Amino acid sequence: MSSMIVFVYNANGGFVNGIMDSVHKLLRPSTYPCSLCELTHGFFSEKKSWKDYTNHLLAKGYILKGLHKDEVDEFHPILSELPAVVIFDSTKYTLLLSSQELEKIATTADLIKQLELKLSAFNTLMRNSQV
């Protein structure tokens, strides 16, 4: 089974909530509570660089899932704060990027670099644990 990367957003799902979040980001960006949303989405849709990167991850065989905070019951034990990025390797969930780490990331390019580093470390750990 391929590893699944789960992007957990600190926002509620749904069309109306999406519009309200976009307006919030536009009018009061300093008070917007989801750094992952800011890094991956523009006003109307995913940022092109993020879409390109997620397509790259899919091509590498990862399964990708995006969840909103009102959809995260199954991840509750490892998520103390949102947003977060989690990976599932068929036996357990592992936190890749915490809320605090995401808060420090300034650009989508920096997010991609951090994810590449974390995925590389995770994959090395998984290979070493199978030996």
Which of 6-20, 56-70, 85-99 is the least confident region?
Answer: 6-20
21: which residues sit within 8 A by CB, 6+ positions away?
11, 32, 34, 37
Token pair of 73 as six digits: 């019951």
* Structure-token pair, residue 4: 């699944």
Q: pLDDT at position 31, please? A: 58
Residue 116, token pair as written in the block: 């590449």
| Closest to 53 (Cα-Cα) out of 1, 5, 2 | 5
This prediction's pTM: 0.80
Q: How many CB atoms lie within 10 A of CB 41?
A: 21
What letter would DSSP give residue 74? G
Two tokens, residue 75: 């991840």
What digits encode the pLDDT tens for the residues 3-43? Answer: 999 999 886 656 655 555 555 565 566 655 567 878 887 77
Residues 6+ apart with CB under 8 A from 72: 8, 79, 82
